[in-house]
Amino acid sequence: MKKQDSLQLSAYLIIDKKKKKQILSKEEINFFIEEMVKGTIHDYQVTAFLMACFLNGLNEKETYYLTHGMLNSGFQFPVFDKKTIDKHSTGGVGDKTSFILGPIAAAAGVKVPMIAGRGLGHTGGTVDKIEAIEGFKTQLTLKEFSELLMKYGLVLIGQTGEIAPADKKIYALRDVTATIDNVSLITASIMSKKLAEGASGYVFDIKVGNGAFMKTLSQATELAKSMNKMAKLSKRKAISFITDMNQPLGNTFGHSLELIECFEILKGKGDKRLTSLSVDLAAAMIQLAGLATNFAKARKIALEKIADGSALKELENLIERQGGNPKVVSNYELLPMAKTQTVIKAKKSGYVAGWETEKLGLWLIQLGGGRVQSNAPIDFSVGVYCHAFVGDKLTKGQEILTIYHHDHQLEKVNIFKDKLEKEFLTISSKKVKALPLVYKTIK
């Protein structure tokens, strides 16, 4: 930015302009981001800016400028090659597809650069889950990250401060100022980090429902279109799936249990909905990478990589390369697991009509399966196995949930048991339709 341009700009004038619902220029947004990272713009000014953006909105160009301003605040890889494709999910309860689709896509020849996050609110984090494997190293240098990706085609690390440091600062302030749920701010936050990874395309899994951040289909659709647009404006390929989060995804939620479920699916077993969605997402990655001419052929390839064992082998190799014991995929005793199990059974017959999914996720945090504070440790050993899903017929006394917990938590589990059919689960006397898995696909 030219010196004379910066003299005509100030945080005050930019905030005032957006407060008046005026359109910000590329220079104004870049100035604000650059000065914020330097520390010459104070937190209270950033907060005012975010609230003005939240209330008055950002148009497509402003969202693009904000995304790239945040992207340019840190390190970014150039696009590795056209076969480098990443997936991003907006998160939910039991959302564990990364551990399935990543190995499938890698086995098919896709390079998969996973820079993943930790748990947020009621949702579990990919990095937290993989760290249930003792010794697995998620904190690698960016040099190590790129070398592993180019040599092996699959790598999984935690977010690093070198990528989009502006987003880290902005997100922390959004988190405490009620400015999280804005499509433009969400898009800029996600894409500023994703564009830095060196992928040529993205598959977005936008969750919708009572266990998602996007509660309605219209909200999820708006976000999907925004994410796709930002990718394409940035000369990347993209496809978005809007998928259900009105109940846990798969049978389990809780770190060790979720890993075991992923291992089982890569062995050709496990929950059909989780398998189907993981295969769909992997197929989209294979297609975007140019390794199949259409989605049907890509899906066939994905299923073959499960059937021939090559996807499971990719996951074993990933675990070994990053310091974990690859035998964990066959010996589940290597994972921490709470010794006490409490089975909760139905008090009446009927049909499962609905789960309060977000509440389920928040309750697991009370057992230690998530964080109350950002630096708190996680108990990988606790979790929940879900036996009943929306549309299922229940008979009185049938198993609904199995809780994995410690002996000293029995009282807390019993309280939950008593409240289950009042606060967490709806059982109807009338037949209920099963929920769709994928509501729509947006290209």
Active site residues: 88, 167, 174, 189, 193
Residue of 373, 386, 367, 406 whose CA lies nearest to 118: 373
Beta-sheet pairing, 252-253 with 383-386: antiparallel
Whether residue 210 contacts residue 358, with contact meaning beta carbons closer than 8 Å, is answered with: yes
Whether residue 389 contacts residue 352, with contact meaning beta carbons closer than 8 Å, is answered with: yes
Which backbone phi and psi does 343 adopt, to 5 degrees?
Answer: -95, 130
Whether residue 108 contacts residue 310, with contact meaning beta carbons closer than 8 Å, is answered with: no
Rg value, the chain, Cα:
22
Neighbours of 153 (CB within 10 A): 22
Whether residue 126 contacts residue 117, with contact meaning beta carbons closer than 8 Å, is answered with: yes
C-alpha to C-alpha distance for 232 and 238, rounded to whole angstroms? 7
Give 172's contacts (C-beta < 8 A, 6+ positions apart): none
